[in-house]
Chains A and B, each alone.
Chain A
Amino acid sequence: MLRLIRARLAMLVIVLFGVSIITFLMAHVLPGDPTTALAGPHPSQETLNSIRAQFGLDKPLPAQYLSYLSDLFHGDLGTSIRSQQPVTHEMLAFFPATLELVLVAFIVAIAFGIPLGVLAAVKKNSFSDYIIRFFAVGGVSVPLFWGGLVMILIFYAKLGWLPSSGRLDIELNSPESVTGFYTIDTLIAGDKEAFINVLKHLVMPALALGYVQLAFIVRQVRSSMLDALSQDYYLTGRANGLGKRFLVVRYALRNALIPSITIIGLSFGSLLGGAVVTETVFDWPGMGKYVTDSILGRDFPAIMGFTVVIALAYVIINLLVDLLVYSLDPQTRK
């Protein structure tokens, strides 16, 4: 067990090292580097040089990279051009909002994705299989932003059932932040009305974001379930008189989950990515929206800061997935 963790951690360091190189390259080497943006329209040479000096861009590349690395190490993601604030602080401020949205979307995706995938596999080529597959292929084909827009159009503009932006109605005061999750903080504060309101705000963004990953999970679980159901041990079980339902749940599903967990881990990562779009459409004050505003404002350090944070989160998720697979699949413990 320890040996596996050590190997994975070593891998983690290598990958993070690679991530830092890529983000460094993107930030400092590629044509659109920040100085051109900062210097404003047709800058004179002096202003360009002073800005370059200010950002230390005049030093040789390796030296720049080392200083970039040491900043990263100390959690310093550079300063935002727009707000002149350290990117790290802004990230920390916005992170809980994104995490709350992504977690709810993730729970929705798994809660419905796994059972639907299993159902589609067990009832292969039946009517319900076709419906689920059509629903799933729709999910992977819908553009995230368009899905959100259509939802706003229907449930906000036309039916007026749900609010279309923000985490809480403006007139209600936001809960005193304990966990940073409005859902939990309102519960802690015992403010039932605010809690309901927070849920109403969460519905559309979480569904818009979760639907795409739900579709991915359905397709993956269905294909690995079909594979598990076609294995010899399933036929041996049937021949030994074990019930179909028992075999599907206790035998096939367990084996089907192992390959699916990796995909589910990946889908959590892409939820973080998708949040950029969903938060913009639903005006959700999280890291995603912060990034789109940075894009509009050419705030390069902020964009790069976001990319590093997401990559770090993604690598940690993959580590957790590996450990989960390790516990489920005895062959990895050989």
Chain B
Amino acid sequence: MNQDLLVVSGLNKTFSFKNKGVKHENHAVKDVSFAIKPGEVFGLVGESGSGKSTIANLLMNLESVDSGEITFNGVTIADSKAQNSFPYGDIQVVFQDPRSSLDPRMTIRQIIEEPLRFLSGAKKTELGNSSDVVRLIQAVGLREEHLDRRPHQFSGGQRQRVAIARALITRPKLVVLDEPTSALDISVQAQVINLLKSLQSEFGLTYLFISHNMGVVKYLCDRVGVLNQGELVELASNEDIFNRPTHPYTKKLLSSVPSMFKEMESQ
């Protein structure tokens, strides 16, 4: 089954805003195309302002597409004509900042079960009402009694685990990870990365991993797209990107990363 899970073709998004009366245009996403195969970890790398978060928003139907098309499992889910039905439940997202991604007023159980409430059609019948909240909370390394507590009683790492459990409750096919570990300490980041890898095999997930941290992308991603000011300047396998980068921007990006051992040999 090598049919692509997600295909993005010719994606464009422009934001216009007024500043001192003058209309400014920010062409955030310029004609981006890529495809993600089932079971793959596809990385999108870029600095701030490179358009990676805008692409995530477009994928999650949070922003409207100016031109281009996004198809999921062969079905068009977003294009400029905007009356497509979005496969809620099949695509889920985990955001960067664990302090803001969980509603402080809700208990962990309510947070994790929230996505189930709005499923419709095929997805609803597929899941029925078997809510495996307990199985999921344990799968992400927390305990059942945590379910009745509120977010402020948890550390950053633990909250990110809850966010991941919430994303998996609807048994999605694709999980968009928007800088999931950037706000975490190294040791906590390692725990979350291991968790993501084990969950991928256990639930047969496909990840779109968005980050500015080259180290994490190098470790996790099978294929990597490099973004610079809204353009996809290079798209290749992990091997090629990190060992044989072709585009000058990719080279500059890689050389700027203060990696552990590269410098010390030369010292």
**B interface: dominant SS:** loop
CB of B20 within 8 A of chain A? Answer: yes
Q: In the complex, which residue of chain B has the Cβ closest to the Cβ of A3?
A: B21
Residues of B in contact, count (CB < 8 Å) = 3
Could you tell me the distance between the alpha carbons of A334 and B21 in the complex, rounded to whole angstroms? 11
Interface residue range, chain A: under 10
Interface residues of B in 1-55 (CB under 8 A from A): 19-21
Chain A 169-207, CB within 8 Å of chain B: the 1/0 string? 000000000000000000000000000000000000000
Return chain B residues, CB-CB under 8 Å to A334.
Answer: 19-20
* 4 A-B pairs (CB sep. < 8 Å): A3-B20, A3-B21, A334-B19, A334-B20
Return chain A residues, CB-CB under 8 Å to B19.
Answer: 334
Return chain B residues, CB-CB under 8 Å to A3.
Answer: 20-21
Interface residues of A in 1-35 (CB under 8 A from B): 3
Could you tell me the distance between the alpha carbons of A334 and B20 in the complex, rounded to whole angstroms? 7
Return chain A residues, CB-CB under 8 Å to B21.
Answer: 3
What's the nearest-Cβ distance from chain A to residue B90, in Å? 43
Could you tell me the distance between the alpha carbons of A3 and B19 in the complex, rounded to whole angstroms? 11
Q: In the complex, which residue of chain A has the Cβ closest to the Cβ of B21?
A: A3
Could you tell me the distance between the alpha carbons of A323 and B248 in the complex, rounded to whole angstroms? 49
Could you tell me the distance between the alpha carbons of A276 and B12 in the complex, rounded to whole angstroms? 62
Closest 4 CB pairs of A and B: A3-B21, A334-B20, A3-B20, A334-B19
Could you tell me the distance between the alpha carbons of A70 and B19 in the complex, rounded to whole angstroms? 38
Q: In the complex, which residue of chain A has the Cβ closest to the Cβ of B19?
A: A334
Q: In the complex, which residue of chain B has the Cβ closest to the Cβ of A333?
A: B20
Return chain A residues, CB-CB under 8 Å to B20.
Answer: 3, 334
Interface residues of A in 298-334 (CB under 8 A from B): 334
Interface residues of B in 121-146 (CB under 8 A from A): none
What's the nearest-Cβ distance from chain B to residue A159, in Å? 57
What's the nearest-Cβ distance from chain A to residue B200, in Å? 40
Could you tell me the distance between the alpha carbons of A3 and B21 in the complex, rounded to whole angstroms? 8
What's the nearest-Cβ distance from chain A to residue B218, in Å? 34
